[in-house]
Amino acid sequence: MKQLVSIYQNGLPDAHWTVNAVYDDGDTVIVRWTGTGTHTSNLAGIAPTGKSVNVAAIMIFRMAGGRIAETWDVWDTLGMMQQLGVVPALAKAAA
């Protein structure tokens, strides 16, 4: 987890993560969060764009013995790449 966060913290030095909600059901914890930042350094091989991003995510943790035993996460990678201009945004359908 620490290694993953450091990749984004390096590429988006002003990165900020906001926890929007936490749900606890015994050995399962679900966290809904939003990450924001400005891409001013290399981000996993992507040269700095100077663009800001706002990314939504959900993480599910299975807890065992008071520690995280497993993690699953879903976050809007495509949306972030589109915000950075690395992947073109989809064209809007004609009305």
Confidence of residue 95 (pLDDT cuts 50, 70, 90): low
Domain layout of the chain by residue ranges: 2-84
Question: 2-84 architecture in CATH?
Answer: Roll (3.10)
pTM beyond 0.75: the answer is yes
Render pLDDT for 63-89 as a digit per residue (tens, 0 to 9): 999 999 999 999 998 999 999 999 887
Contacts of 38 (CB under 8 A, 6+ apart): 12, 13, 14, 50, 51, 52, 53
**What pLDDT score does 94 carry?**
65
Type of residue numbered 72: W
Render pLDDT for 40-62 as a digit per residue (tens, 0 to 9): 988 888 899 999 999 999 999 99
The Cα 35–Cα 75 span in angstroms is 10
